[in-house]
Amino acid sequence: MLNEGVAEDPIEIGSRRELFVDKALIHRTTGQLSLRLHHPIPRETVLVYDAPWEGNSTNYHCIFKDGDRFRMYYLTRNVSFQNKQLRVEGLRFCLVESEDGVHWRRPNLGTHEFDGSTDNNIVMVQADVDPFNARMGAPAIFRDENPDVSPDARYKTFISSKSPIGMIPMKSPDGIHWTPMSDKPVITNGSFDSMNLGYWDAVRGEYRAYWRYFSAGETTDEKWEPAGIRAIRTSASKDFLNWETGFDLQYQDGHEIEMYENIIYPYHRAPHLKIGFPVRYVDRAGAPSTSDPSGADQADAARIAKWPRSLKALPDFKSRSERATLSERFGTALTEGMLICSRDGVHFHRWEEGFLRPGIERPGTWNYGHQFIAWHAVETPSSLKGAPNELSLYATEGGWQGEGKTLRRYTLRLDGFVSAHASAKGGILLTRPLEYHGDRLSLNFSTSAAGSVRVELQDERGKPISGFSLADCDELFGDTVERTVSWQGKTDVTSAAGKTVRLKFELRDADVYAFQFQEEPN
């Protein structure tokens, strides 16, 4: 039995689904059991950006389910090198749609002209926001699920104001036609040179916003000299117009990591959990992380010759070297997706292990701009006949010069970001005190053919509850996103509902991704 000093107050989990994406519910683990980060599996290329208005550097994707279809918005632009300067032009915001998340089409919106025709999928261009003293930036569009939202503001986003720099809220009745909600920025304490986003948090009954800032230097409309590291700031609002003072995100590891983007959103199967896919920015040659307006950071042949051998062995060395002559970091920086998770929107558990690695070397990979994950993961049908739905994530490949970028789909099992994993020698996970509601316990788990999972319900002192011990638990094996636990053939756990309990998981060659106390359907 437990005898470890002052008793903890129970964590009220009710009947919500809990994932092992952090250690918030874990008291201790023993044996060969640990939390294991899982990596998205690369699937097909779902989009090739070859429309004449899309350019060669498409990025900043946002995707959500809207009725019986998925909508995905993205920023198009064309990048070229002229007189040792990086030239970016042709910024447009576009829309594609899909029924299954795999096959996408460009709807003919008819709202903007390109080369004399309105037969295109362009939603927004810079001229649309010029009257508001703004730049289009990288709008992160979302469908507002606030039950009190007005029909003319069903879709929302932010654009970037020029002076002062900040975030101007926009609204739309259909996701295509946009008007400003304010004539001035409503958030100004940041840098905003990235995808800055907001959403309705149904669990907390408020809007949340996340945006870029630099930890040092100056980033204003009058002076742009960022320094320090790229980081993320957040705030809350009841109306999307009046925002609280921002908070800098806090991490359990305490380390300084350059994070490009944030890609944070409530996970749809457990919306009390805010899951983010920020982009880790790493420079493997020690180049400054910000470009120098004077050109002092431009790499010549002598500097390039000193690059690490592994960097020079990566794909597209010729293009990488050309980019470095503009700013060394354009050729030496690498990016990949990370995983972060929060229960309050401010304090995050950050997995330092790469979540979406650059992957096997091939043209268009292992560069600055690779593996920017779309905002956010969505649930899609599995390609395996008879298998349950899965999570689809989308990330970019290619870019910088020549042909346009492509978008690749990746998949994870539902809830499959992290698991409690044990080897064949087995291990134990004991939760902190919990209080639940429901009459059955369901698990999302996977075992080998020889593996197993058992669960014990303990009282607040750590004593097995009669009838719910490990010895009573019927062995679970298989691979399923939802199966009910039984003890000597019985599944009813209402006798302990509303009381303080702990869960003891015994795993052998197995993974448990999530658990949930549920009400038996009528």
Q: Are residues 43 and 32 in the same domain?
A: no
Amino acid at site 177: H
pLDDT for 429-455, tens place per residue? 999 999 999 999 999 999 999 999 999
Domain end among 383, 415, 447: 415
Write the CATH number for 29.
2.60.120.260
Q: Which domain holds residue 475?
A: 11-38+418-518
**Confidence at residue 402, expressed as pLDDT on a 0 to 100 scale:** 67
SS3 491: coil
Residue 281 located in a structural domain: no
pLDDT of 167 over the 90 cut: yes
Contact in structure between 500 and 433 (CB atoms under 8 Å): yes
Q: Is residue 267 part of a domain?
A: no
Residue 214 has a pLDDT of 85
Same domain, residue pair 25 and 43: no
Long-range contacts of 465-468 (CB under 8 A, 24+ apart): 465/495, 465/496, 465/501, 468/493, 468/496
Do both 438 and 514 map to the same domain?
yes
Task: Tell which of 361, 386, 415 closes a domain.
Answer: 415
Share of the chain above pLDDT 70, in %: 98
Query: Are both 34 and 57 inside the same structural domain?
Result: no
When pLDDT is cut at 50, 70 and 90, the band that residue 521 belongs to is: low
Compute the distance between CA of residue 249 and CA of residue 246 in angstroms, rounded to an integer. 9
The three-state secondary structure class of 67 is: coil
Lowest-confidence pick of 258-267, 350-359, 393-402, 430-439: 393-402
Question: How many structural domains does the chain have?
Answer: 2
Report residue 135 as tokens.
């730049």
pLDDT for 78 beyond 90: no
Of 415, 435, 465, the residue at which a domain comes to its end is 415
- What is the C-alpha to C-alpha distance for residues 138 and 47, in angstroms, rounded to an integer? 19
Asked if 434 and 390 sit in the same domain, the reply is: no
Does 522 score more than 70 pLDDT?
Answer: no
Confidence of residue 94 (pLDDT cuts 50, 70, 90): very high
Model pLDDT, residue 5 = 43
Helix (H), strand (E) counts: the chain: 5, 32
- Establish if 208 belongs to a structural domain: no
Q: Using one digit for the tens of pLDDT, what is the confidence trace for 114-138? A: 999 999 999 999 999 988 888 888 8
Whether the pLDDT of residue 371 is over 80: the answer is yes
**69 and 104 in one domain?**
yes
Any alpha helices (H) in 119-181, and if so which ranges?
126-129
Query: Do 15 and 30 have their domain in common?
Result: yes
Q: What is the mean predicted confidence (pLDDT) over 339-347?
A: 96
Please compute the mean of the pLDDT values over residues 88-112 and round it to a whole number.
95
Q: 3-state DSSP call for residue 206?
A: strand
One domain for residues 17 and 43: no
Q: What pLDDT, on the 0 to 100 scale, is given for residue 292?
A: 79
**Domain annotation covers residue 247:** no
Phi-psi map region of 273: left, alpha, beta (phi>0 left; psi -120 to 50 alpha): beta
Query: CA-to-CA distance for 323 and 85, rounded, in angstroms?
Result: 10
Does residue 60 share a domain with residue 20?
no
Q: What is the mean pLDDT of the chain?
A: 93
Compute the radius of gyration of the chain from its Cα atoms. 25
Which tens digit of pLDDT belongs to each residue from 380-419? 999 899 999 999 999 999 877 667 789 999 999 999 999 9
503 and 481, same structural domain? yes
Per-residue pLDDT band at 208 (split at 50, 70, 90)? very high
Inter-residue contact 378 to 411 (CB < 8 Å):
no
Q: CA 57 to CA 405: how far, in whole Å?
A: 6
Residue 290 lies in a domain: no
Task: Please confirm whether the linkage preceding 376 is cis (ω < 30° from 0).
Answer: yes
